Structure 1
Amino acid sequence: MLEKDTVSYIDTISTFIISLTLFFLPLFFLLNTTDFFIIPKQLLIIGATLILIILWGVKVLLARKIILNASPLNLPIAVFAITILVSSILSKNRFDALIQVVPVFFAVLFFLSLVNNIRERKSFSIVLSAFVLGAALSSIVTIAYYFKFYFLPFASLQNQFFNTFGSITQQLIFLIPVFVISLFYLLQKIGFPRVKFGQDLKTDFGFFVQLLSGVTILAGLILIAYQIIALPNKPIVLPYIYGFQTAAAAISQEAQRFIVSLLFGSGYGTYLVDFTRFKPPSFNLEQNIWNLTFSFSSSYFLELIATVGILGALSFIFILVSLFKTRAPRNPLFAAAIASFALSFLLPFAYIAVVELFILLAIYVSYLNISEDKRVYDVVLTLVASKKGLFSFEALSEGSHSEAGAESPILPAVVILFVAIFTGFFGFWVLRFTSSDIKFAESLRQASLNNAQKTYDLQTRAISDFPYRSDYHRIFSQMNLALANSLAQNLKDQNQNTQLQQNFLALLQQSIGSGRSAVILSPQTSLNWQNLSQIYRALINVGQNAEQFAVASQNQAIALDPYNPLLYIQLGGIYYQMKQYDPAQNQFQVAVNLKRDFANAYYNLGHVLEEKGALEEALLNYQIVRQLSSGDKQNLEKIEGEIKALEAKIGEIKKTAKKVESETEQTPLSISSPSTNIPPIKPQIKISPPPQTNQATGSANSNN
């Protein structure tokens, strides 16, 4: 009897945890993490799931049996989870992919925890109400802030367009299925299409919860629609044509690992890599987004094709087909799940939208189980000891009892051991990740306050706690380079200061080491190679072979983002810095060819031509720059001055530039130059070369 009471208490606690999680999921954010919205929601789901798994293990230990819910959705969801996990393990950017896939894996475990804990109507109503109320409250926050009622005690959040999702697109995706639940529920309660308001509705608490929530969510949806349609700062979504093109290219143009890419894609959560590698040259014709990179495709399904391949996309469709097989006519939860799937084919999904999809599926399965649908049932697994001293597994329906012998304590012991190892392993790494993220976020705040020492110390500790995030290493490498440059200026006045020299050299080597670590962790991220090239470029005349390393790294960045004119300007700038004007001219010309209305490409091309003595050709390029800069006062003043100076050199002008028009917003005119100007050193120091392009992804600790 005591065991049954304890199990009942555990069920109550589990229901409470699930309800709190669903209520706070759309609301939860933190201001001390590097991402205020996504990472806190990931931590919420992971933390809640770990607690639920521990409670489940205790239940198994007490009951000496495993009770699992069986439904038509279990297999397709398991296949999907395994596919994205395998995809991440096979990814060249393995750590990036695993960091993205682990929270989704826990969303799947949360699905299992919900369906295996919510078996009674009362707990089901509590969980559903918590889910709807949380969405409604997030809508209230959005409405209140839009009308400048800043009730949260955070000055940094006093923004008219603040919401608890960090994106109005993601809030829209989240609220639509919840609104479908409330709408269908209300229509059923009033007997639509034959509307009746009986006396029982006046005392129906659930009806009023859904009514108030539905009205609030509808108001939020109307406001979001207004913001998207009428306001100038619209959310930017990758046009579908590029989503289709990058998805098709990602699974078909990877010659070195064609089968792996076709079946498993580039790795879950690594769409940024696919975008930079496979965007077409025509993307440069986009006036407002040509210089942007996209971490999400045009829709979640297109992103799945690119990142988890054909198998990942098919496993996702498998879930949808299985859902249709369990359809319940006019069921609000089924309609909401279908709405979420429909949105996944139309819009990009951030983490919270993926979690919501699994939550909707879990609530729907729980509803079918409570309604005694024959397609959903509980299975009891137990290990029994027979009279002959042997052990055997038995699968029984709940309520049945084994006749073969006594239930053995071995199974619950094995389960609790597995639970301890699983929760201990993931709990340890989640805590390390969280600690690292908080420290790094604080380091960025200290950097904004120009506190270099604290920034350095916090970033060092953050990387020590969790050394598998390439963006940390990339930022840390720039931090070290900036500190080294600062010391270099002091060394001019203190040539004999040995300690300063040692610190200077240590910072330079650490900058290179961190830049290399970023490349090793994420070898297919063009930005990491760009960063490494810029570090080597800053060390030209300081480090041995720095110019060769800078060119090699920049070429690798271009290989991973081949139609980005900015990269060719940077490579041309390296050659220009070394006074190798012919290859510099070639690179600037490539940039011009890729984007015919890019003023800065013509500006750099004009300068290299001027250095070569081709003054009239340089002038023609400057004239094009003037045409393209007509809407930019600062650029126009700058180029007008340079044109006058060049015309004075030339004398009589024989040619005029062809007319070039553009609506592209131009970047400031500048000759490509190193990000940091470190004074020359003699003799030059020995520095590490860039990693080989075929170097396996591995731990970055050894490179720091």
Structure 2
Amino acid sequence: MISLAVLYFYLSRNVRAIHESLLQSRIYHLGSIILSIITIIFYFQPFKNVALPQNLAFLKNPGFTPVGSQLDLAILLGFFIIIGIVNILKKGEKTSPLRSIIYHLGSIILPLTALFLTIYSLIKPVGTDVINHVSTLILPPFRLSWFAALEILKNPASAIIGIGPDNFSAIFTRVKDFAYNQSPLWQINSFNVSRSAILQILTETGIFGLLTFGLLIFNAIKQLVKGDHKGSPLQLFLFLYLIICLLIFPPSLILWFLFFILIAELSKIYNLGSNINKQIIDLSDLLPICVGIVIISLGLIGASGYFLGRTYASEYFFKKSIDGIALNNAKLVYDNQRQAIILNPYIERFRSSFAQTNILIANNLALKNKDGKITEQDRQTITQAIQAGISEGKVVVSLNPQKAGNWQSLASIYANIINAAAGADVWTISAFQRAILADPQNPVYRVSLGGVYYSQNKYDDALRFFEQAISLKPDWPNASYNYAWANFQKKNYPQAVNALQATIKLIDPKLNKADYDKALKELEEFKKMLPNEDVQVDQSGEKNQSGSLNLPTPPTTQISPKLELPKEASPEAK
């Protein structure tokens, strides 16, 4: 946003550009044509069956676009189309060379074709993936985005200044409800942005931020409709288009870039039509002030360049670590993730990935000996790797303790070392409980926590959390399946049979035959424990395909005797 503000002041105050309309320059027309051609070409996936080097493999992605996302691409193409249409209408008012007319027609037809293909790519079904039978375009529900904005008004402090940048996901988990769990989006634990950019401003910056943005919009409208140098029809249509986009689409860099470009154009109109007498001040006698301003400006530019350079370098090294995963090179992954964190220690995904890498290293070392007996040197290395993984996981939590996903990641780290480190089971439970507090409507966390108790043969506690998961998501087969097995282990055979029957009713045999047959077979085994009962399988009811049937499985890493970790490894320790 700071960079966009600097761009705004440069464009709106640039003397050379004051009489030139950036929106009508050849750069826009040429950019529109080039982007449209690239979009049309890549829609047909020309590199789908071509062997590309690892660093160019992204060109095979059917959703690839130089803009970043398909939705941003559609917004940008719509912006270009409005410019093209208005320019064609203006050309039609007077005689123009045939070549110019063809040029402008091309600047409309190509973007329209590209926009049609992009919209089709966004709305076409993507099959039975994690989110069943939905389009590629996945947006936060507008209803919950509205509830999130209202939620901040309950507290005076958050109502005034909001919950802070990059904290929308934390408040989204607080306003999720039962209806969300019944939607196809339920497996998405949270969204990082609101459905509406306007609501995002209110949620993260509060009433103060919304009023500031409102003043900016009011000033833009005033420049559009008043005065001798009011905005052109092109600027009016683009302004309305961007306001609609800000109302119905999530915020993005492309959307804000277009908005600031347009605001800069409107500001140039004001500067052009201003009748205020300009005064020339001679600063030749104020040399110290001039030197001070120059030094401060250079210092700010240098500091900005330094931090931006570190940010870019950290992303570069993190990308290299991802390449290392594809090459199955653990050293390349570890070294580059570590370097990325050194350059930018405040990025949660860097820390989270590095934590998982350390735990993976520890697991691989422990699995070298299947009997769980390891050398003293390996034991020390494993201990160091586990401590590093836990430390990184806790740093992620400290960066944003309101995010349930951060607590869930920490819980997963502890869960991976339950059979390797003393006290890890207690820490796992504690971390999952914190995740549930942050995201109380999430059934997955409850099944995960119930699975920890199940693995420890604490079936009463496991049943309690499996039952809570069922109440939150009644049509999730895996919750009922785990509930059935926990009852079976506790020798509650009638309840186990009923729960497994309920599971079978939720599975569609046409789409998930393996799980369906598995559940039927296990039901027969359950029924054998009821010699005097004749239980019929009721296969009626609504079918649901929300993941596969999985029982809790303990981690494969086992070390004997278990490692003794310091108290600082617990989630409560600071």
- TM-score if structure 2 supplies the norm length? 0.89
Cα distance per residue 1:317-354 (max 9 Å; x no partner): 22211111111354312321231112100111222211
> 1:682 Cα shift?
4.1
8 Å Cα contact 1:181/1:332 also seen in 2: yes
Unmatched tracts of structure 2, length 5 or more:
127-134, 225-229
What is the match of residue 139 of structure 2?
Answer: 237
8 Å Cα contact 1:246/1:306 also seen in 2: yes
What is the match of residue 79 of structure 2?
Answer: 177
What is the match of residue 523 of structure 2?
Answer: 643
What is the match of residue 76 of structure 1?
Answer: none
Moved more, 283-292 or 580-589: 283-292
Distance 1:541 1:230 in 2: 45
8 Å Cα contact 2:195/2:248 also seen in 1: yes
> 1:506 Cα shift?
0.7
Aligned partner (choices 559, 563, 574) of residue 679 of structure 1: 559
Aligned partner (choices 439, 455, 464) of residue 342 of structure 2: 464
> 1:664 Cα shift?
3.5
Aligned partner (choices 359, 381, 403) of residue 261 of structure 2: 359
What is the match of residue 252 of structure 1?
Answer: 153
Distance 1:416 1:690 in 2: 51
Structure 1 residues 339 and 240 mapped into 2: Cα distance closer, same or farther (>3 Å)?
A: same
Structure 1 residues 659 and 319 mapped into 2: Cα distance closer, same or farther (>3 Å)?
A: farther
> 1:667 Cα shift?
0.8
> 1:310 Cα shift?
1.9
Distance 1:464 1:263 in 2: 35
Alignment of 1:285-364 (within 5 A): 285-291=182-188, 293-327=190-224, 328=230, 330-364=232-266
Give the AA of the match of 2:153.
S
Aligned partner (choices 52, 62, 66) of residue 164 of structure 1: 66
Structure 1 residues 532 and 494 mapped into 2: Cα distance closer, same or farther (>3 Å)?
A: closer
8 Å Cα contact 1:589/1:605 also seen in 2: yes
Structure 1 residues 444 and 509 mapped into 2: Cα distance closer, same or farther (>3 Å)?
A: same
Alignment of 1:125-164 (within 5 A): 128-149=25-46, 154-164=56-66
Report whether the alignment pairs 1:670 with 2:570: no
**Stretches of 4+ aligned residues off by more than 6 angstroms:** 657-660
Unmatched tracts of structure 1, length 5 or more:
1-103, 378-396, 696-704
Cα distance per residue 1:196-233 (max 9 Å; x no partner): 4x1xx22996x776443233222222323333455654
* Secondary structure in 1 matching 2:25: helix
Distance 1:677 1:493 in 2: 10
Distance 2:27 2:302 in 1: 29
8 Å Cα contact 2:12/2:264 also seen in 1: yes
> 1:648 Cα shift?
2.2
* Secondary structure in 2 matching 1:432: helix
Moved more, 556-565 or 440-449: 440-449
- TM-score if structure 1 supplies the norm length? 0.73
Structure 1 residues 173 and 675 mapped into 2: Cα distance closer, same or farther (>3 Å)?
A: farther
What is the match of residue 374 of structure 1?
Answer: 274
Distance 2:102 2:452 in 1: 67
> 1:641 Cα shift?
2.2
8 Å Cα contact 1:597/1:660 also seen in 2: no
Give the AA of the match of 1:314.
L
Structure 1 residues 482 and 652 mapped into 2: Cα distance closer, same or farther (>3 Å)?
A: farther
Cα distance per residue 1:603-639 (max 9 Å; x no partner): 1111111111101111111111111122311211221
8 Å Cα contact 2:383/2:563 also seen in 1: no
8 Å Cα contact 1:620/1:656 also seen in 2: no
> 1:290 Cα shift?
4.6
> 1:288 Cα shift?
4.9
* Secondary structure in 1 matching 2:97: helix
Alignment of 1:326-475 (within 5 A): 326-327=223-224, 328=230, 330-369=232-271, 372-374=272-274, 397-398=277-278, 400-402=279-281, 406-475=284-353
- Number of residue-to-residue matches in the alignment: 554
Moved more, 409-418 or 617-626: 409-418
* Secondary structure in 2 matching 1:665: coil
8 Å Cα contact 1:337/1:360 also seen in 2: yes
Structure 1 residues 221 and 368 mapped into 2: Cα distance closer, same or farther (>3 Å)?
A: farther
Structure 1 residues 139 and 681 mapped into 2: Cα distance closer, same or farther (>3 Å)?
A: farther
8 Å Cα contact 1:551/1:571 also seen in 2: yes
What is the match of residue 533 of structure 2?
Answer: 653
What is the match of residue 440 of structure 2?
Answer: 562
> 1:299 Cα shift?
1.6
Distance 1:122 1:685 in 2: 69
8 Å Cα contact 2:390/2:413 also seen in 1: yes
Cα distance per residue 1:108-138 (max 9 Å; x no partner): 1111122122544675459833234323321
8 Å Cα contact 2:23/2:83 also seen in 1: no
What is the match of residue 394 of structure 2?
Answer: 516
Report whether the alignment pairs 1:222 with 2:100: no
Structure 1 residues 659 and 595 mapped into 2: Cα distance closer, same or farther (>3 Å)?
A: farther
8 Å Cα contact 2:507/2:543 also seen in 1: no
Distance 1:288 1:355 in 2: 29
What is the match of residue 387 of structure 1?
Answer: none
Report whether the alignment pairs 1:115 with 2:15: no
Structure 1 residues 490 and 426 mapped into 2: Cα distance closer, same or farther (>3 Å)?
A: same
Report whether the alignment pairs 1:587 with 2:465: yes
Structure 1 residues 663 and 300 mapped into 2: Cα distance closer, same or farther (>3 Å)?
A: farther
Cα distance per residue 1:9-39 (max 9 Å; x no partner): xxxxxxxxxxxxxxxxxxxxxxxxxxxxxxx
Distance 1:514 1:125 in 2: 47
Structure 1 residues 210 and 261 mapped into 2: Cα distance closer, same or farther (>3 Å)?
A: farther
Structure 1 residues 157 and 601 mapped into 2: Cα distance closer, same or farther (>3 Å)?
A: same
Structure 1 residues 589 and 135 mapped into 2: Cα distance closer, same or farther (>3 Å)?
A: same
Cα distance per residue 1:420-449 (max 9 Å; x no partner): 221222211111111111111111221132
Larger RCO (CA under 8 A, 6+ residues apart)? 1
What is the match of residue 131 of structure 2?
Answer: none
Distance 1:364 1:447 in 2: 48
* Secondary structure in 2 matching 1:650: coil
8 Å Cα contact 2:366/2:557 also seen in 1: no
Structure 1 residues 663 and 334 mapped into 2: Cα distance closer, same or farther (>3 Å)?
A: farther
Structure 1 residues 544 and 149 mapped into 2: Cα distance closer, same or farther (>3 Å)?
A: closer
8 Å Cα contact 2:487/2:493 also seen in 1: yes
Cα distance per residue 1:468-509 (max 9 Å; x no partner): 111111111111111111111224579463321211111111
What is the match of residue 212 of structure 1?
Answer: 106
8 Å Cα contact 2:505/2:538 also seen in 1: no
Give the AA of the match of 1:373.
G
8 Å Cα contact 1:135/1:175 also seen in 2: yes
8 Å Cα contact 2:463/2:483 also seen in 1: yes
Report whether the alignment pairs 1:627 with 2:523: no
Distance 1:539 1:155 in 2: 35
8 Å Cα contact 1:488/1:678 also seen in 2: yes
8 Å Cα contact 2:403/2:438 also seen in 1: yes
* Secondary structure in 2 matching 1:252: helix
* Secondary structure in 2 matching 1:287: coil
Distance 1:228 1:436 in 2: 31
Kindly, what percent of the aligned residue pairs are identical?
A: 25
Structure 1 residues 217 and 436 mapped into 2: Cα distance closer, same or farther (>3 Å)?
A: same
8 Å Cα contact 1:320/1:341 also seen in 2: no
Structure 1 residues 683 and 605 mapped into 2: Cα distance closer, same or farther (>3 Å)?
A: same
What is the match of residue 129 of structure 2?
Answer: none
CA RMSD of aligned residues (A): 2.8
Distance 1:527 1:229 in 2: 28
> 1:402 Cα shift?
4.0
Distance 2:535 2:328 in 1: 50
Structure 1 residues 687 and 531 mapped into 2: Cα distance closer, same or farther (>3 Å)?
A: farther
Structure 1 residues 417 and 442 mapped into 2: Cα distance closer, same or farther (>3 Å)?
A: same
Moved more, 273-282 or 458-467: 273-282
8 Å Cα contact 1:597/1:661 also seen in 2: no
